Amino acid sequence: MALRQMSPVAGGQRTSVSLLWPPGVTAPEEPSARPDPAVVTDLHLDQIVTAVAGDREERDLIADLLYRRVRDPAAIVYRHAVFRDLEDPGLFAAVAEFADRMREVRAHLGQLPRMYSAEQREGWLLDAAGIYCDAVRSLAADLAGRPIASPGLSAVRDYLAGYTASAGFAGLAADTAARKRDLAAITYLVRIRGSRVEVSRYDGEPDYSAEIEQAFERFRQGEVKDYLVHYRTWPGMDHVGAQIVQLVARLYQPEFDALAAYCRQHAEFIDPAIGAFDRELQFYLAYLDYLRPMRSAGLSFCYPDLSAAGSKQVLARDTFDLALAAKLTARRRPVVTNDFELSGSERIIVVSGPNQGGKTTFARAFGQVHHLAATGCPVPGSAARLYLCDQIFTHFEREEDLDDLAGKLENDLLRIQQALRAATGDSIIIMNEIFTSTTLTDARFLGEQVLARVIELDLLCVYVTFIDELASISPTAVSMTSMIVPENPAERTYKVIRRPADGLAYALAIARKHGVTYDQLKDRLSR
């Protein structure tokens, strides 16, 4: 049974409301609005999206919105305002309850094709409409009584106020209440004699329930388990039940005729704007639900300031890899946060330091916050100013494919070439441990050539490398290094801080730990 889109507003004036797009702004259709599959994998965006969407009915919509970047700052600010409103626990609970009721409505309607009894289909549609009317009225009352700042939710509140006051909704609600009241008044008797079933009107015959209960009262031994089974939530009905309902319908023909007429009139009762609001709402509820455990663990999320043109000064305070943080907090393990900042003419962050020190995680976090910022979502960190890029390109080290006739170095060069050709001045590129399959001299030369092209294109860039000298390639590049515990260089802090690259400092720390520095050896030899 299809759902017709009915216009609810008095006078037939249709009103369009959206939680995602301000008036005059629509979803971008260009392919570049979605990241390349390699970027999704490199930045672990697939892990984030899968965890956020979960098994929700609207998971495809949620995934699409989390992958699709928006370049209109007005749309981003519009979504920020909705998120801010929904951080009010009372408002969040109200809209979440509405979403739960609407999910129940869809569950009822989804069962209709499985029912072969017309009376049962009509009864379930009536129940669905009753749940819908209650959900809409309840949400309208909740929104009317709460302070709302976002234009999106304000538009929904105004729309609901007009909708619930309209003749269309009033007629639906009144008809639904009347049909439920008529059906609730129906009483009948079922007599079973062997294989014969008789159905008749209940006409005041004695009810022996109380006498039976009293007779067995003396056998009661404290509280007992309730073995009653409530079959109403299960859509299945066998042929015996269906025939009983048909006999009851014959006994109460006017009531069931009225029900059939009701279903013909209101078969498609869900208002299109409310249905769209319910779908879009899932995006906000799912993302905030995903953040809740991390916020409870003390991690910060913020609404970044965004620039779409001109200034490329970016910063983030206390940011982190969102996919990793979700896993760590689930295991009650601490999450290390980091800062980054590029100001003035600075464009490139060259990250160096010991292996397994958090360099890749830092690079991934840089990409994640810029992508999530372009979806209008809160981003990891206590404060952020980010660039609203057109595309993000990544090149993370991959294992060599033995079936590939090209070597690893050739593949690295081809991938970097493709990214730099496709990039524009508004793009971001993140490169992690490339050219590791060649000599140090060749890796330094190739790194210089790649970064020269990045500088020429004026790209924002994170370049993770084992070659410290690349950090001083240009005034547009800054150096950041992953830190170790000074007393134990084998132990990582996973902090990445802004400081001059110095691979010798790490080597010296290891030598000191093992007692083989020049001074330590000299002292031992002099004894």
At 315, give phi and psi (nearest 5°).
Answer: -155, 160
What's the average model confidence in pLDDT over 442-454?
91
pLDDT at residue 399 above 60? no
Which of 19-23, 64-68, 238-242, 382-386 shows the lowest mean pLDDT across its residues?
Answer: 238-242
- Does domain 300-525 fall under CATH 3.40.50.300? My reply is yes
Question: Where along the chain do its domains lie?
Answer: 70-202+236-296, 300-525
pLDDT at residue 2 above 50? no
pLDDT in tens, 471-480: 889 999 999 9
Pairing outcome for strands 488-498 and 477-485:
antiparallel
- Report the pLDDT value the prediction gives residue 233, as an integer from 0 to 100: 45
Residue 283, both tokens: 């995006």
Residue 180, both tokens: 């439920």
The rounded distance, in Å, linking the Cα atoms of 459 and 470 is: 16
- Report the pLDDT value the prediction gives residue 113, as an integer from 0 to 100: 86
Residue 490 confidence class, pLDDT cut points 50, 70, 90: low
What's the average model confidence in pLDDT over 138-164?
95
CA angle, corner 30, sides to 26 and 32, nearest 5?
Answer: 125
The rounded distance, in Å, linking the Cα atoms of 220 and 232 is: 28
Alpha helix (H) residue ranges in 266-407 = 272-296, 322-330, 359-373
The rounded distance, in Å, linking the Cα atoms of 430 and 43 is: 10
pLDDT in tens, 218-252: 777 666 566 554 444 455 666 777 788 888 878 88
Q: Look up the pTM and report it.
A: 0.84
Mean pLDDT over the full length of the chain? 86
pLDDT in tens, 496-525: 999 987 665 455 555 665 666 667 777 777
- Report the pLDDT value the prediction gives residue 235, as an integer from 0 to 100: 59
What's the average model confidence in pLDDT over 395-417?
70
pLDDT in tens, 153-187: 999 999 999 999 999 999 999 999 999 999 888 88
Which of 127-131, 382-386, 397-401 shows the lowest mean pLDDT across its residues?
Answer: 397-401
Residue 145 confidence class, pLDDT cut points 50, 70, 90: confident
- Report the pLDDT value the prediction gives residue 22, as an integer from 0 to 100: 92
